[in-house]
Structure 1
Amino acid sequence: MSCQEPEFVTAEDVGGFDDLWSSYGFYNEGCFEKGAPLVLNDQQLFSDFAFMDDMHFDSISSAISVAAETDQPASNSELLQLDEKSTPPLPSKTSELLSKYQFKFNARSGEKPNESIERGGSKLSTEDFMRIAASFFIQLSTHKDCNPFMLNNQFGLSFSGLSSAEIMNVELAILLFSAAEKVSQQRFDHGTNLIKECYKLCSKTGNSVQRVVYYFADALQERIHGGKGTVVKAQEVMKALLSNHPVHLATFRSLPLEQIMQFTSVQTILDNLGSAKKIHLIDLSIKHGLQWTILMQALSNSSSVDYVKISAVGTSEEEITSTGKRLTSFAEILKLPFVFKPVIVSDIKELKEDMFKIEETETIALYSSMDMNTMIIKPDRLENVMKVIRNLRPQIVTVVDVEAKHNSRSFINRFTEALFYFSAFFDCLENCMRGDERVRMIVEEDFFSPGISSIVAAEGSERVIRQVGIDVWRLFFARYGLVEAELNQWSVYQASLLVKHFACGESYSFEVNGKALLVGWKGTPLHFISAWKFQ
């Protein structure tokens, strides 16, 4: 990136940096001092949990009545409580972060200035670049006369540990932050100018930073134009996520993430079946059903099992029947008594407990993977599913979902949370799907891009992608009498061993939150795995 000011960007386009980051809770007391810590305004965090205002949780009468019956508090403040452990990590201090690279750079004799700086044997991650850019963005807020396109000159000391290519990544991210600020202020002319400059330097086929900026610039542009078209695209993505899409298998092979979540969930279900003879498994969106082959293998040597029944919920009879045939064939090979039952509904709000044909002596387990967050925008569907689960009263419920805060009513909060979340995910795909770039591009363009657009560009009922983390779901599930159960600890240990078989495995991170397990990339949580029982 040139250090000269771009042709179409004025000083006014890039000026006034305070508003964006002060809105998100980062602020400087007086002038910025190099190495000074960034302070997080705790009060701002509560806006992330205002999602129930959008969901109209007050209308979920059954949840409130159950709360009354079980002596659970039913006030809305329940969902506004913030566990201190869930506070998002602060970005690294700029001088502290860069000094590590500078030390590595200085320690390596004869290194060329344009070589990538490494820390612990790995290059800067996509999220690292975003954090560095965010810190410089804050510095610029106290230097109104600064030209952000000449950062290498004005902050040369801080940039001394970065290569020219890495500096371009940082400057590109700063352009994106500047554009987001202008869009948040509805200064669309200035925002458009900055987005144009982003497009000149980014691409959906470029490096991971360039790809992230490309899709977020697209989303900002859509927001300027009223967010039209984001609903249809996002709804298509949600359908694909819950369907038997071919990309699921491809990512399953390349990413240990899905395998970890499935293995841990199934092992926890097995732990809670006890000596059950008639096992009834309910899957809210079975997809390829690979997780059940793990369970079937584990049960195949048990002479005490009369049968295993799987009830698969979905809208496509063709896809579910295809999955059922594969699982039936697998059970025959194992000589395991097996029943597969499709439960076809055109809309999840039509789901009823009598559709599952429960036998009196059956032990029920329910599995939900990426289902709950798709229903946040549709509280009547979510209410219906929870009522069905409560009436079925499974022995164990396992829930796997997104660990994110993409449902704030504040545009800036959503933009920032989404940017760091997807930066980590893009970095994960970049590292784990080398040699399978075609599938990676499909995931990013067909799945991630519409989600980013919905989160950033849309408002109100048009914003159909709304994701919250385990802390919020924990409070919500409690209203229906569900309490968190222990995950199988052996499976958690096995998960840590599993990732070692992947070239990118050392970058996966595991964190216990309550009794749930957060699986992330380089310390940034991406998904949670949890188990639940009725009181």
Structure 2
Amino acid sequence: MFTAKIFDSRGVPNESSVSSGTYNEEAKKSSNSFGVEGWEDTHIDTSGDAAELGHSLSEVHRQLRDYKEFGNLDDLYLDVVSPPLQSCNDNEIRMILGIGSQNPELIDAKQKGSYVLPMRSFELLRRHGIKRSRLEGQICYTVCQTQSTYTQGSRMSTENIIELAAENFVQPMSKTKEISVVSHPYPSSITLDRSDDNLKAVQLVQNLLLSAEKLDEKKYEQARKILEGCDRMSSSTGTPIQRLVFYFTGALYEKIDRENGTVSTKGLGKQILDPLEDLQPDQRFQISFHKNHPLCQITQFSAMQAVIDHVAEATKIHVIDLDIRSGVQSTILMQALVGRQEHPVQHLTITAVGTKSKALIEQTGKRLMAFAESLKLKFSFHIVMVADILELNENLFELNADEAVAVYAAFALTYMIAQADQLEHIMRVIKNIKPCVMIVVEIDTNCNSPTFVWRFVEALFFYGAFFDSLAECMKNDETNRRHAESTCFRSSIRNIVAAEGGERRVRLVDLSVWRAFFTRFGLVELELSMSSLYQAHLLRQSFPCHSSCTLGMNGKCLTIGWKGTPLCTLSAWKFQRDIDE
């Protein structure tokens, strides 16, 4: 069982120790619409230049437990023991995390923008109207750590290889002359000789960029010939760069075929499956990813800490989970609540919202009820199933006036962007529910531009960082990594790069877009507590790859990245009218 510690509002850790649950299903209809174009090409200046959180602390011990009653996802219920911190207040946590200032306003003082490359590396993008203000003077908060990691003969990070390829791509002679020395966008430079495998990797990415440019210029035959070279140098079983280029090459072939109406043996033809059906990796990968990659556990523990912070005095708590999946986050919350000394919890209710996979949600509910019973916590589990999100209505939720309601949305909203009327509808429903807090975990990249080259390059950097992280974190589980890359990641890349208009359903947007959207509904971003940030640091430190996993603050939002490239964000929100009241 979990013995994780979640801190109360004073920064004091709670020791963690539930009954039957009930299912509830209803459905009613409602409709509205919001143009998806409102999410197209939206770029607002964001912030993200903050020091990495923390220094080495006691390592979090992770140990698997066997729960026969928890079914196929048993291994996701981990035994996580946090180090004791019996009387750590906010100022002490600030010192431990290296924030250093007692004034919250100073934490964000250095923030000027999100992580991007210097302007001179993006001639390819400049031609398509990227705002200069978004690119200049915005250096990633971990660049000082990553730029010096390369030594002759060692493998460079995927991020640095793409950066070097982009830098060399814009040099006048680079497209006709073989690379021997390429200038690095950072103060130092890296020399690559002919025997260095990194040179081949840089050339490979450079060819991919050149092919994308030719495709954008409608020079399909030239683009195809360049892709044939990428085919020979890439592989689904090679290095992270080779795998990345392999899937992007397939997506470019697909785009060529779709634009000129032909089907090649290399292309995937006009048969584009629904990517939203392929985006969820199977349970084996989920288990392995949860155990080996820090992203899941960091977001889950920090998010549940944020919930605890906002229901600190409530004795009856109701959490509405928009994408409950295996429910690991709920077990973290349960243990925190049973260990709370002040304001002991009388009842916890969790409502899962779903449009499909009812049987899986029911299995999750049964596991959570068994887990709650073992902790002797009074607990109810409800399901609100609707055929379409537009049918969701606040009256479907069994809400009581004496409950503190929190909404948890982890990677749930982004799948509605392609059908933005659904997204606007669910936000109206949430607003009518009047939660005390809404916790949002989302991908942090903008691959939703209608301009092909723009989203191609953004996707290349984002998935490059993700492939690099999978290679390091899951090096002992190549089978599940390869399966996930060949299914959900391949499907996402394919849809982002090759599809246009209504067929482009994978529409990843960054924090600035979410902020603009939430503001329309009167949501105000809340500070994450020092305890929540401390949880993130503890979980990061528990992984062997912790030095590559980067944490930073973007305004009041926590950013989790890989070697400086943001992967996802965690933020807390409340409706303005509730704050005013």
TM-score range, shorter chain: 0.7 to 0.9
Shift in Å, 1:304: 2.8
2:353, 2:383 within 8 Å by CA — same for their partners in 1?
A: yes
Aligned CA distance change for structure 1 residues 388 and 509 (closer, same or farther; 3 Å): same
Task: Give the Cα–Cα distance (whole angstroms) in 2 for the partners of residues 501 and 483 of structure 1.
Answer: 32
1:438-494 superposed Cα distances (whole Å, 9 cap, x missing partner): 111122111111111111111111110101111111111111111001112212122
What are structure 2's unaligned runs of at least 5 residues? 1-32, 48-111, 122-142, 184-188, 260-268, 577-581
| Structure-2 residue corresponding to 1:393 | 434
1:230, 1:458 within 8 Å by CA — same for their partners in 2?
A: no
Residues matched between the structures, number = 440
Shift in Å, 1:102: 10
Tell whether 2:110 aligns with 1:147. Answer: no
| Structure-1 residue corresponding to 2:200 | 168
Aligned CA distance change for structure 1 residues 288 and 245 (closer, same or farther; 3 Å): same
2:35, 2:420 within 8 Å by CA — same for their partners in 1?
A: no
- Code of the aligned partner of 1:116: G
Aligned CA distance change for structure 1 residues 461 and 86 (closer, same or farther; 3 Å): farther
- Code of the aligned partner of 1:475: A
Aligned CA distance change for structure 1 residues 127 and 361 (closer, same or farther; 3 Å): same
1:264, 1:488 within 8 Å by CA — same for their partners in 2?
A: no
- Matched position secondary structure for 1:408: coil
- Code of the aligned partner of 2:45: L
Aligned CA distance change for structure 1 residues 387 and 154 (closer, same or farther; 3 Å): closer
Aligned with 2:322 (options 284, 288, 297): 284
- Identity score, percent: 38
Tell whether 2:230 aligns with 1:198. Answer: yes
Tell whether 2:303 aligns with 1:265. Answer: yes
Task: Give the Cα–Cα distance (whole angstroms) in 1 for the partners of residues 383 and 535 of structure 2.
Answer: 32
- Matched position secondary structure for 1:365: strand
Aligned CA distance change for structure 1 residues 500 and 161 (closer, same or farther; 3 Å): farther
Task: Give the Cα–Cα distance (whole angstroms) in 2 for the partners of residues 299 and 477 of structure 1.
Answer: 29
1:486, 1:515 within 8 Å by CA — same for their partners in 2?
A: yes
| Structure-1 residue corresponding to 2:246 | 214
Shift in Å, 1:237: 2.4
Aligned with 1:523 (options 553, 564, 568): 564
| Structure-2 residue corresponding to 1:313 | 353
Aligned CA distance change for structure 1 residues 54 and 210 (closer, same or farther; 3 Å): farther
Question: What does residue range 382-421 of structure 1 map to in structure 2 within 5 Å?
Answer: 382-421=423-462
Task: Give the Cα–Cα distance (whole angstroms) in 1 for the partners of residues 555 and 180 of structure 2.
Answer: 44
Aligned CA distance change for structure 1 residues 313 and 229 (closer, same or farther; 3 Å): farther
Task: Give the Cα–Cα distance (whole angstroms) in 2 for the partners of residues 435 and 333 of structure 1.
Answer: 33
- Of 159-168 and 365-374, the range deviating more from structure 2: 159-168
- Aligned-pair Cα RMSD in Å: 2.8
Extract structure 1 runs of 4+ deviating beyond 6 A.
100-104
Task: Give the Cα–Cα distance (whole angstroms) in 1 for the partners of residues 230 and 287 of structure 2.
Answer: 34
What are structure 1's unaligned runs of at least 5 residues? 1-51, 59-75, 106-114, 118-122
- Matched position secondary structure for 2:407: strand
- Matched position secondary structure for 1:377: helix
1:189-225 superposed Cα distances (whole Å, 9 cap, x missing partner): 1111111111111100001110010000011000011
| Structure-1 residue corresponding to 2:221 | 189
- Matched position secondary structure for 1:473: helix
Question: What does residue range 15-54 of structure 1 map to in structure 2 within 5 Å?
Answer: none
Task: Give the Cα–Cα distance (whole angstroms) in 2 for the partners of residues 128 and 332 of structure 1.
Answer: 50
Shift in Å, 1:91: 4.7
Tell whether 2:485 aligns with 1:449. Answer: no
Task: Give the Cα–Cα distance (whole angstroms) in 1 for the partners of residues 439 and 195 of structure 2.
Answer: 46
| Structure-1 residue corresponding to 2:293 | 255
Shift in Å, 1:89: 2.4
Task: Give the Cα–Cα distance (whole angstroms) in 2 for the partners of residues 380 and 158 of structure 1.
Answer: 49
Question: What does residue range 81-480 of structure 1 map to in structure 2 within 5 Å?
Answer: 81-83=44-46, 85-91=112-118, 116-117=153-154, 123-139=155-171, 142-143=172-173, 147-148=176-177, 150-152=178-180, 159-160=191-192, 163-226=195-258, 231-238=272-279, 240=280, 245-302=283-340, 304-314=344-354, 315-480=356-521
Shift in Å, 1:360: 1.6
2:408, 2:440 within 8 Å by CA — same for their partners in 1?
A: yes
Aligned CA distance change for structure 1 residues 446 and 245 (closer, same or farther; 3 Å): same
1:278, 1:308 within 8 Å by CA — same for their partners in 2?
A: yes
1:150-207 superposed Cα distances (whole Å, 9 cap, x missing partner): 323999x974467421111111111111111111111111111111111111100001
1:353, 1:392 within 8 Å by CA — same for their partners in 2?
A: yes
Task: Give the Cα–Cα distance (whole angstroms) in 1 for the partners of residues 230 and 494 of structure 2.
Answer: 16
Aligned CA distance change for structure 1 residues 276 and 397 (closer, same or farther; 3 Å): same
- Matched position secondary structure for 2:258: coil
Aligned CA distance change for structure 1 residues 188 and 267 (closer, same or farther; 3 Å): same
Task: Give the Cα–Cα distance (whole angstroms) in 2 for the partners of residues 252 and 209 of structure 1.
Answer: 23
Task: Give the Cα–Cα distance (whole angstroms) in 1 for the partners of residues 46 and 308 of structure 2.
Answer: 30
Determine which structure has greater relative contact order: mean sequence separation of CA pairs < 8 Å that are 6+ residues apart, divided by chain length: 2
Task: Give the Cα–Cα distance (whole angstroms) in 2 for the partners of residues 101 and 236 of structure 1.
Answer: 38
Aligned CA distance change for structure 1 residues 493 and 230 (closer, same or farther; 3 Å): farther
Shift in Å, 1:431: 0.5
Task: Give the Cα–Cα distance (whole angstroms) in 2 for the partners of residues 334 and 364 of structure 1.
Answer: 22
Task: Give the Cα–Cα distance (whole angstroms) in 1 for the partners of residues 533 and 487 of structure 2.
Answer: 31
Task: Give the Cα–Cα distance (whole angstroms) in 1 for the partners of residues 492 and 176 of structure 2.
Answer: 33
Aligned CA distance change for structure 1 residues 252 and 230 (closer, same or farther; 3 Å): farther
- Matched position secondary structure for 2:249: helix
Aligned CA distance change for structure 1 residues 383 and 153 (closer, same or farther; 3 Å): closer
1:399, 1:531 within 8 Å by CA — same for their partners in 2?
A: yes
Aligned CA distance change for structure 1 residues 162 and 270 (closer, same or farther; 3 Å): farther
- Code of the aligned partner of 1:319: L
Task: Give the Cα–Cα distance (whole angstroms) in 2 for the partners of residues 528 and 296 of structure 1.
Answer: 23
Shift in Å, 1:433: 0.5
Q: TM-score, normalised by structure 2?
A: 0.71
Aligned CA distance change for structure 1 residues 495 and 81 (closer, same or farther; 3 Å): closer
